[in-house]
Amino acid sequence: MMNKKKLPELLAPAGTPNALRAALEAGADAVYFGGPSFHARMRAQNFTKETMRESIALCHAFGVRAYITLNTLVTDRELPAFLEAAWEAREAGADALIVADLGGAAAIHRAMPDMELHASTQASGHSVHAARELAALGFSRMVLAREASAENMKTFVQGCGMETEVFVHGALCVSHSGQCLFSSLVGGRSGNRGECAQPCRLPDKSGKYPLSLKDLSLARHVPALIDMGVHSLKIEGRLKSPEYVRDVVRIWRRLLDERRAATDAEMQELAAIFSRGGFTDAYFTDRVGRGMLGVRSEENKEQSRASTPFAELTRRVPLTMHFTMQKDAPLSLSVTRGEKTVTVTGDIPFVANTTPLSEEAVKEKLTRLGGTPYVAESLTVTMDSGLMVPISRLNALRRAALEALDANDRAMIDLPRYIPQKPTGLRPQAPTARFEHTAQISAEAKHYFEHIYLPLDRYAPEADGVVMPAVIFDSEREKVASMLKKAVERGAKHALVGNVAHLSLVREAGLIPHGDFRLNVTNSEALSFLLSLGFADVLLSAELTLPQIRDLKGSADAIIYGRVPLMTLEKCAGKEVGSCAACEKGENALTDRRGEKFPVLQHYPHRSVIVNSRPTYMADKARELAATGITGGHFIFTVETASEVKRVISDYQNGAPPKGAVRRI
């Protein structure tokens, strides 16, 4: 029996106005694109204020929703401009804003509570409880992590309480979105701020590509996606050409309308449009492995060049029109598009001295819709005989009707004045630290650090706190709850929490929650929101500079020592650069083309975490740190031995300069 469930929305990317027209030509239900600023594809051509407004009106003419991306992290000083960008998108008629920054979302929701918000995949949402926490910020939709299996996707759709959007086609980041600092901390181009340099696509020192994934395609799973009740299917590609957008959307439109999976021939057609040695569905099918890796070959590039250039938008929107001209009454023109009808009035006609206006002339002028997305499907005319108006007045009536039809129906508001939030609470005054293993925890460490954290799955009484896993899918929640219970029984009292979805687990276990750097806090709004949820304090984003940290006068701390985790991978990187045994011992490392070695660690349950080749080091910068308000600071010990930990503590006590290559805040 044919699946009669409602079809998901087909959501297409648009990096340029021409790509947007290509999406409309191919039959997209919704389009997402960036305005002039604050979005995760700053290298795309993107849209000016004027082209954004025009493009949204064009989308609405076709009955297509338009979502504007504001999905980058923002600092305190940028928040007023961020709010202005949100207001401009709202005034232009945007149907929703795609937002990643929790503080940015809080500011928008407070100023414009009627604005629909979608939580970007950069917000690191991967479970039902993430959606429940995000709802408090006004989010009505969450983009689920690409790494979710079919089982976890189904659980999320059934229990999240909001609309679910999933990526179904296009490029895959090897790291969990929102959890990649590689481009930022190593190359100075922040992926969280729309400037990713894609280091994962580069070869390592041996010439291999251990981090480059094939593109995602779930085209063989269309019936399953429909059956789950997923609300929106998202195609990646705001850096892609109009031809890519048109051709990929066209195939997905056909599959959805026919409620079926792609054939082998259609998969080959999709691969010819763009691929990196084929596609992967390994996350969805829960078969994560080496077969996911892929690079773009010369043959792939040659196939893409063969696509037919996109020329113009040929589709037209049918209009039903009715014109009335009666004696002693204003001209009237009603126009209907779908469920929307507008009526405009014009001049009062006068009695013709010679040749009265004919019905043929009326029809010819009113159906002249060139240069618009419309075509007159029908025009009925009711007119008294012997009357006349200048032809220019008919043209003006037609233009007025189309302007009314395209008008933004949302109530206009003044640009809200941004009122900064002031986080309450004091910054931690004593240093804290996390370790990979108990063997690293020296007597000096126990004396020096106020709180010591160990990974939850390796917790021992030498520490008083646990580091929560970076990712906990719904299928893993019960196991994590059990580990938390055991940790509490063994003496754990605190928890470093890197995702709002995990806060409820920590509360239920009776632990005091402290916000981890993975929460990507870069502004006071985000800090205030997290403190309101019950966090005792928060570690700020590792991307912040000292002046930006100074701006955040609240209950927050910063990483002042250690190899900061750069990537969290569902795909095992350890097997690509070494062995599982070496990974467990912390002996695996990714060596880049310059010879820099990035240690690869194994975290629960079998995720790879790649940490920086150089430790952050600020022992000789105590005065600079104090000027920002930081008197405590957080330390990350990954591959250090107990004796090296002892040396680091001594260096910080004595303000010693660095002894090798380091990273500065």
**Alpha-carbon distance values, 500 to 125, 455, 535, 538 (Å):** 9, 18, 10, 12
**For residues 636 and 561, is the Cβ–Cβ distance under 8 A?**
yes
Given a cut of 60, whether residue 113 has pLDDT beyond it is: yes
Look at 30-39, 176-185, 215-224, 396-405 and tell me which has the smallest mean pLDDT: 30-39
Distance (Å, whole) CA 525 – CA 552: 10
Mean pLDDT, rounded, for 279-302: 95
Mean pLDDT, rounded, for 67-77: 96
Mean pLDDT, rounded, for 489-499: 98
As a whole number of angstroms, the longest Cα–Cα distance in the chain is: 108
**For residues 619 and 649, is the Cβ–Cβ distance under 8 A?**
no
Read off the pLDDT band of 1 (50, 70, 90): very low
Which residue carries 């009335």 as its tokens?
324
Strand ranges of the sheet holding 374-383, from the earlier edge strand across to the other edge: 340-345, 332-337, 317-325, 374-383
Q: Residue 585: helix, strand or coil by DSSP?
A: coil
pLDDT digits (tens, 9 = 90+) for 559-573: 999 999 999 999 999
What pLDDT was estimated at residue 38? 86
Residue 513 makes CB contacts below 8 A (sequence gap 6+) with 494, 495, 497, 503, 506, 507, 534, 535, 536
Q: Which H helix or E strand runs over 604?
A: none
Given a cut of 90, whether residue 583 has pLDDT beyond it is: no
Distance of CA 352 to the CA centre of its chain: 63
pTM for the predicted model, two decimal places: 0.95
Mean pLDDT, rounded, for 362-389: 96
Distance (Å, whole) CA 196 – CA 236: 15
What pLDDT was estimated at residue 42? 59
Distance (Å, whole) CA 144 – CA 53: 28
Residue 482 makes CB contacts below 8 A (sequence gap 6+) with none
Distance (Å, whole) CA 544 – CA 608: 24
Q: What is the DSSP pairing of strand 588-591 with strand 597-603?
A: antiparallel
The set of long-range contacts for 496-499, using a CB threshold of 8 Å and a minimum separation of 24, is: 496/434, 496/453, 496/465, 496/466, 496/467, 496/468, 496/539, 497/468, 497/535, 498/468, 498/470, 499/124, 499/126, 499/130, 499/468, 499/470, 499/471, 499/472
DSSP, residue by residue, 364-418: HHHT--TTSSEEEEEEEEEE-TTEE--HHHHHHHHHHHHHHHHS--SPP-PPPPP
Distance (Å, whole) CA 275 – CA 549: 41
What pLDDT was estimated at residue 41? 63
Q: Residue 332: helix, strand or coil by DSSP?
A: strand
| C-alpha closest to that of 550 among 627, 632, 631, 617 | 627
Look at 284-288, 322-326, 574-578 and tell me which has the smallest mean pLDDT: 574-578
Read off the pLDDT band of 409 (50, 70, 90): confident
Distance (Å, whole) CA 108 – CA 415: 11
Distance (Å, whole) CA 57 – CA 48: 14
What is the separation, in whole angstroms, between the first and last Cα of the chain? 61
pLDDT digits (tens, 9 = 90+) for 530-561: 999 999 999 999 999 999 999 988 889 999 99
Q: What is the DSSP pairing of strand 512-515 with strand 494-497?
A: parallel
Neighbours of 5 (CB within 10 A): 13
Given a cut of 70, whether residue 43 has pLDDT beyond it is: no
Phi, psi angle pair for 491, to nearest 5°: 120, 0
Read off the pLDDT band of 233 (50, 70, 90): very high
Residue 132 makes CB contacts below 8 A (sequence gap 6+) with 160, 161, 504
What pLDDT was estimated at residue 24? 98
Q: At what angle do helices 298-305 and 264-273 cross, to 10 degrees?
A: 90
What pLDDT was estimated at residue 289? 93
pLDDT digits (tens, 9 = 90+) for 430-484: 999 999 999 999 999 999 999 999 999 999 999 999 999 999 999 999 999 999 9
**Alpha-carbon distance values, 645 to 88, 451, 542, 639, 640 (Å):** 51, 15, 21, 10, 6
Residue 104 makes CB contacts below 8 A (sequence gap 6+) with 38, 70, 74, 79, 82, 86, 523, 525, 526
| C-alpha closest to that of 218 among 277, 152, 170, 162 | 170
Given a cut of 80, whether residue 581 has pLDDT beyond it is: no
Q: Please indicate whether residue 574 or residue 387 has the higher confidence score (pLDDT).
A: 387
pLDDT digits (tens, 9 = 90+) for 122-144: 999 999 999 999 999 999 999 99
pLDDT digits (tens, 9 = 90+) for 646-656: 999 999 999 99
Residue 14 makes CB contacts below 8 A (sequence gap 6+) with 20, 22, 23, 31, 32, 33, 55, 238, 245
Running DSSP on this structure, what letter comes out for residue 663? B
Read off the pLDDT band of 39 (50, 70, 90): confident
Distance (Å, whole) CA 505 – CA 542: 25
Token couple for 497:
């929490």
What is the rounded average pLDDT for all residues in the chain? 95
Residue 8 makes CB contacts below 8 A (sequence gap 6+) with 225, 226, 230, 231, 232, 233, 256
The set of long-range contacts for 285-288, using a CB threshold of 8 Å and a minimum separation of 24, is: 285/149, 285/150, 286/149, 286/150, 286/151, 288/570, 288/571, 288/572
Query: What percent of the chain is modeled with pLDDT above 70?
Result: 98
